[in-house]
Structure 1
């Protein structure tokens, strides 16, 4: 079994004060409860603003993120997930919220590094898309630019919330209690993949996408262990979701801000399989470069 990097030991140290599994289980339940309450609060505000008659239609639109405003509102629901992680960390484990992130300077530096590495590796893929695929235009440039600042804030919240829960809270607390990477690195990644299970949108491709998502989570967990903070995983996650939500989508969901739509459906397994294989190869390349950037820590 590989030893934990020293920086990860320091990252996990605050979680060792109260490492009991029951606290983690209750904490995850609290995360879910706060997340649901936050979504209920948002629905209440929307209902008051638009009227009860329009609420159901608006909630359906938000669920698919099919317009710029509904996509931004969907991304903002993840603030509840982050608040839930903060509450569990502070109330159940009696440790500062900042310990979920890691050292501030490291988080900021690694976020920028991860984002930059992803952008450089993704650039040939973007060019390849334009040269080889029959892309159709999505949202118009003026609309895209108008909503872009809010969309970027929403993506920061959404990706940050998921990193706080899966690579922050869950990975820290499991590592504080268990020595095996199968527990503190693999288990959160499996759960991360499973929470993206959506057969109504993904069709027969659903388990392939769950696997690829879990694989992405595993690579992010490794980078978190290597860096001792969530910054690099957050930067990569943010860049990945910018690519998949703001630039290119398949059109089933979360397409309200996409500039271009790909010429196939995510449920078309035959068409999506080569893309997923390419996606995994790109992930591995990005991960390897990030690991190289973290050498010596």
Structure 2
């Protein structure tokens, strides 16, 4: 189902639909992800060691965002992608911010409607068993200390999810659709690119590709919600709730764990190859997608 507002977004992409522009957009994303953002991390970390985004453990393995300051820097660094996306959309494809977000009033309405439904759903789902060994989860912060970090986490997460949805769904997905005249190619193409960026840096073999498969499925869900809404609002909301759940409760101790009330010490290769974990993760995604559709009534 494609809303009228989404068709307007696609029409704005068709003003300059040449395929070579898609490769330029990809190049911009790569430059931001591989050069500009790491440079930002190094600069901030050099100014204050407490804000180091990447630490190295005793075995020489990188640990990403394992302190509150470090994780906040990781998330805040996505602001670079926001700026790059807006500038590229305007200069390369003559598209305004509204063209890649959808109507602002509709975006806000669908964002809040989706967020309210998913927040309630998250409370229920967190109570349900998700697999894994409870003995491999340890307390990182007391409740009051964790609450202190929650506002910083929400601000950082909003920057991150807004940046990714703006680039992947609002801009790249609609630009692919405008170039190919295929709504399916738009959703699947942007989802595939989104998934490639989620190869696990700390898991080898087949387990390293489970996050990729899950991210591709997430991209399809977010793309579908963007088509139905005609804005990136619901996709931002579902992305925010998903990342909040992943980072705030029991993240793995080596990856984005700086804000977690608990941390998991389990082997990531074991987790990503555990059928119960896989079932839970995909079920969580399916249920949140259905809840988001109910929230926006499309």
TM-score w.r.t. the length of structure 2 is 0.87
Q: Hey, what does 1:174 align to over in structure 2?
A: 176
**1:241 corresponding residue in structure 2:** 243
Residue correspondence of structure 1 range 67-82 to structure 2 within 5 A: 67-82=67-82
CA distance in 1, matches of 2:266, 2:71: 21
- C-alpha separation in 2, matches of 1:235 and 1:128: 22
Rate the CA distance shift 1:112–1:265 in 2: closer, same or farther, 3 A.
Answer: farther
Instruction: Indicate whether 1:221 and 2:223 are aligned.
Output: yes
Shift of 1:140: 2.9
Q: More deviation in 286-295 or 92-101?
A: 286-295
Q: Distance in 1 between matches of 2:130 and 2:184?
A: 40
Aligned twin of 1:24: 22
Deviation of residue 139 (structure 1)?
2.4
Instruction: State the alpha-carbon separation in 1 of the partners of residues 265 and 36 from structure 2.
Output: 38
Residue 268 of structure 1: CA displacement? 0.6
Question: Mind listing any 5+ residue stretches in structure 2 that lack a counterpart?
Answer: 56-61
Match of 1:99 in 2: 99
What do residues 148-183 of structure 1 show as CA deviations (whole Å, max 9, x unaligned)?
222211100111111011111111101112232341
Is there any run of 5+ residues in structure 1 with no aligned partner, and where?
A: none
CA distance in 1, matches of 2:97, 2:202: 36
How far residue 14 of structure 1 moved from its aligned partner, in angstroms, is 1.6
The 3 A distance-change label for structure 1 pair 200 and 172 is same
Instruction: Report the Cα distance in structure 2 between the residues aligned to 1:5 and 1:257, rounded to whole angstroms.
Output: 37
| 3-state SS of paired residue (1:119) | helix
With the length of structure 1 as denominator, give the TM-score of the two structures.
0.87
When the two chains are superposed, the root-mean-square deviation of aligned CA atoms in Å is 2.6
2:194 aligned partner: 192
Distance of 1:267 and 1:223 partners within structure 2: 31
1:33 and 2:39 are equivalent in the alignment: no
Any conservation in 2 of the 1:204–1:268 contact (CA below 8 Å)? no
Helix, strand or coil for the counterpart of 1:27?
helix
More helix by share: 1
After superposition, what is the alpha-carbon deviation per residue over 1:185-209, rounded to whole angstroms, capped at 9, x for unaligned? 1111111111101243466412122
Judged with a 3 Å threshold, the aligned counterparts in structure 2 of structure 1 residues 96 and 251 are, in CA distance, closer, same or farther, namely same
